Chain A
Amino acid sequence: MRAQATLEFLILAALLLIMFLALLQVYFTRLNAGQDFQERLGAQRLVDDAGRHIDRVLQSGNSSRIQFQLPTLLPTGQAYTLVRIGRRLEIAWESKTVNSLLLTQAVSGSFTPGTLYNITNNNGGILIVPA
């Protein structure tokens, strides 16, 4: 009787341990995926926001101007770079990148995190200069 109880206990304990480890694995996988999603979402929103400012100045016509403040860090705390490549803005942090497409390629100027910018429409060309 005692031998049977011990054996069953061991099997049950092993099963529970396997379940617990599997759950732990799933938990950490999902935690990492969640953090990655949060980072990407924050970066995507930032680059989309910058792109939208450029697009809206373009649509508002000649001489329209808007100010745009770039945060020093991403919402999740990482340092980043923001560059324009042709018709898209690309934000990069650690080894990851996300893009936002632009409605024009007539854009001059560059972005530095933590800077306030004037974005101006100059006869359909977009100028980005620090305020």
Chain B
Amino acid sequence: MFQPRKRGQFFGADAILAFLLVLFALVAAGVATESLDSQISTTEITHRLTERATDSLNQLIRTPGKPADWNLLTTVDNTTIDSLGLSHEANLLDPQKVARFFNLTNSTDGFEQACVLLAIREPGYNFTLTLTYANNTVAYTTLYPAPVQSHIAASIERVAMLNHESVRARLTLWIEPIQ
């Protein structure tokens, strides 16, 4: 009588396939959780950037700064100024302070000082402040251009008065990509 050949074998095609499937599922789960972690981190950083941009822009357009005549100081830095502000009163920008601020931020050292005074000096953080009149003419802009799309960034916009004209103040904070 015919008897089928018996082989004591574990490594059949089914076992290998099952092993590969389990391995694939584990790798896929790992990649998915890694991606989720990355998204959570990006969301958290964007949230922090947005909060910081809001506070820093509000500080600039709503307060005169301390001392209130900081724009007359010869040295503007962390030791001479308690806080920075550009307005006479809320949303009314002082042209002299605005001019001084943008003059300050158009040098690398001055820009660094402005970052410290606006509390955005965390590693890799950078900012662009632009004042634009209602007819879309740019009145002032800071040293570094707004970021390209690949950066993590947050922008806040407020309306204020400058020289009896309304201007849009737009502050963009972004994180420089890691090289």
Residues of A within 8 A of B (CB): 1-2, 4-6, 8-9, 11-12, 15, 19, 23, 26, 30, 41, 44, 48, 52, 55-56, 58-59, 61, 86-87, 101-106, 124-125
Pick the contact of B51: A19, A48, A104, A124 (CB < 8 A).
A48
Query: Given A41-B44, A59-B59, A59-B62, are A87 and B9 also a contact pair (CB < 8 Å)?
Result: no
B122→A105 contact, CB < 8 A: no
In the A-B complex, the 9 residue pairs with the smallest Cβ-Cβ separation, listed nearest first, are A5-B8, A101-B119, A124-B66, A104-B83, A106-B82, A8-B10, A1-B8, A55-B55, A103-B59
Which residues from B are CB-within-8-Å of A58?
Answer: 59, 63, 83
B2 within 8 A of A: no
Q: Can you name 25 A-B residue pairings with CB atoms under 8 Å?
A: A4-B7, A8-B8, A12-B10, A15-B19, A19-B23, A23-B26, A26-B30, A48-B48, A48-B51, A52-B51, A52-B55, A58-B83, A59-B59, A61-B63, A61-B90, A86-B78, A87-B78, A101-B121, A102-B119, A103-B83, A103-B118, A104-B82, A104-B83, A124-B68, A125-B82
Residues of B within 8 A of A (CB): 6-11, 15, 19, 23, 26, 30, 33, 44, 48, 51-52, 55-56, 58-59, 62-63, 66, 68, 78, 82-84, 90, 116-122
